[in-house]
Structure 1
């Protein structure tokens, strides 16, 4: 199904759940390259921009949280961009869908948006909305990392491990999503990718690049911080394990001579003091002396 709104001299078509009939209609009317149509039918393409004489075709990726607000997923955004039109495909990122519905409502209400005077400006508003929404996601990642940092000294290790694993997975996905697109956005700012109207768009593309670069820096910082927190947590867990093993070793060392003495006097052979009326008290007293001696020895050696 093809939905359409007109903004001054620019058309915005959104093809929701495109069918072969929709693709054939677009090829017939706009002359799109067959490879671009094939890319529109295929999911999970690499981010790219193909430049033609009369239009450009872009594939971009932007993140969003799943229904449980735990794991980050990626929406693939495919855009045909020309002087007279913008065409978006499929179940696009909700930012684009919201912008489309908002503009359609303004048109139905008789309002005009003087900023959207060209396809270049419309594309700018799309990218600006997507980049700003990504900043909101990164702020949530930062908040999660700060929470991990605060809870790290709690005893609930399993909970911390789960949070670190989920957050690390999200940061890795953001890294692999944003890194290839950084070069693409540099092409806008450098002028390698030009608009279709005479107005100067370099400042606008530069603004998008600044926000995108800031997002990328935040992702790198989050990755380094998360790696440091993970190593710190691993060290803390190793120290706790060592402390437990140390205490168990002390107990075993103290119990060992007592076990030897009780085992020795438990044999059916004649032993010194075996027939003495105070033998039991003397043996217990000797074992207590051994325990006290070992504890004092460990403390003197600063082992406990």
Structure 2
């Protein structure tokens, strides 16, 4: 359950007691210290100890255990509770999946709860430990570093999606092939992935705006000096959301263009069918007239009648062919 547990004093990791209660007491006893506990998909029974030791609010604990939340920031008496949705993009299958990452931030402690493999926090922890000056700002530094890592990955995913969209666009406007019937379903499937991406990025705008001081009042357990850093993360999120919006618009335009292309192709096919049907109708009509077996019909007894009628039919068909060809029907 507990992936990592460490006490940080003056921005540096120190060896602390293994017991959670002792670790928290040690962090509170020392100045400029805090404890960071990382958990991975804990059960309710496993999380009870953390809840009781850190005094976490039961509603926030319920959200952390259920792991079906939208990005948000909630303020409780003893902690802040933030939900992030890391995004994973499989560029082989062109699928976007979202995991969940919860952070409890209080005085002298941070509790991170991960669901899924989207954003392993080991790299974030190592990067912070390599920057004691940043880590000396306490739990706020962890909140900033985790948010920054998640949002920066949004930008990376957006770049990959744009690259795959360029390939899809090239296929749409290429000469129609055998898989044209499946193109609309591929575009729609891609659009569904963009919607899944948007569900992770768009709701995060309001929480980051609050952390950056752009909306609402002062937040407890967050260093006021950290606001410029959260504004930077908010700017990155804005760019990611703009990329998502452009992806959605481009997909709608590509789908419309594909449907229009299919309509033009169908009209072209219908014109060709109509042209060939018209050319077939002329000899059919003439042959039908001479096939009525009336006794008194003109030229029935003439030697040249048969080749003359065949030549007439061939001439009319050739004239229709040239006419349709000149008008672009064939």
Q: TM-score range by the shorter chain?
A: 0.7 to 0.9
Write the distance in 2 (CA, Å) between the matches of 1:231 and 1:58. Answer: 39
Q: How does 1:232-271 map to 2 (within 5 A)?
A: 232-270=257-295, 271=297
1:128–1:208 CA contact under 8 A, matched in 2? yes
List alignment gaps of at least 5 residues for structure 2: 10-32
Task: Provide structure 1 residue ranges, at least 5 long, that are not aligned to the other structure.
Answer: none
CA distance in 1, matches of 2:283, 2:245: 58
CA distance in 1, matches of 2:114, 2:223: 30
- 2:169 is the alignment partner of 1:136: no
| Number of the residue aligned with 1:208 | 233
Per the TM alignment, residue 150 of structure 1 is displaced from its structure 2 partner at its CA by: 2.2
Taking the aligned partners of 2:131 and 2:207, their CA distance within structure 1 comes to 31
Counterpart position of 1:61: 85
Q: Tell whether the 8 Å contact from 1:144 to 1:167 is kept in structure 2 after alignment.
A: no
User: Contact (CA 8 Å) 1:164, 1:226: kept in 2 or not?
Assistant: yes
Query: Matched residues in 1 for 2:218 and 2:269: separation?
Result: 62
Deviations 1:70-120 (A, max 9, x none): 11011121111123222112435543434267469x6xxxx6643222111
- Output the CA distance in 2 between the equivalents of 1:193 and 1:161: 49
CA–CA separation in structure 1 for the residues paired with 2:131 and 2:206: 34
Deviation track 1:198-220 (CA, whole Å, cap 9, x = no partner) reads 56001101011000011011111
Q: Which residue of 1 aligns with 2:14?
A: none
**1:231 corresponds to:** 256
Question: In structure 1, how many angstroms separate the alpha carbons of the residues matched to 2:262 and 2:91?
Answer: 32
Tell me the CA shift for residue 197 of structure 1: 5.7
TM-score normalised by L of structure 2: 0.81
Query: 2-side partners of 1:238 and 1:278: how far apart?
Result: 48
Shift of 1:159: 5.4
CA shift for structure 1 position 55? 0.9
Structure 1 match to 2:318:
292
Q: Distance in 1 between matches of 2:208 and 2:224?
A: 19
Contact 1:2 1:22 (C-alpha < 8 Å) held by counterparts: no
SS in 2 for 1:220: helix
- Deviation track 1:166-221 (CA, whole Å, cap 9, x = no partner) reads 32111122223322221221111126353636560011010110000110111111
Question: Could you tell me which residue of structure 2 aligns to residue 21 of structure 1?
Answer: 45
Distance 2:131 2:230 in 1: 23
| Equivalent in 126, 136, 147 of residue 127 of structure 1 | 147
Alignment partners' CA distance in 2, 1:179 and 1:74: 13
Aligned mates of 2:222, 2:95 — CA distance in 1: 40
Question: Given the two structures, how large is their TM-score scaled by the length of structure 1?
Answer: 0.87
- Residue in structure 2 matched with residue 194 of structure 1 by the alignment: 219
2:306 alignment counterpart = 280
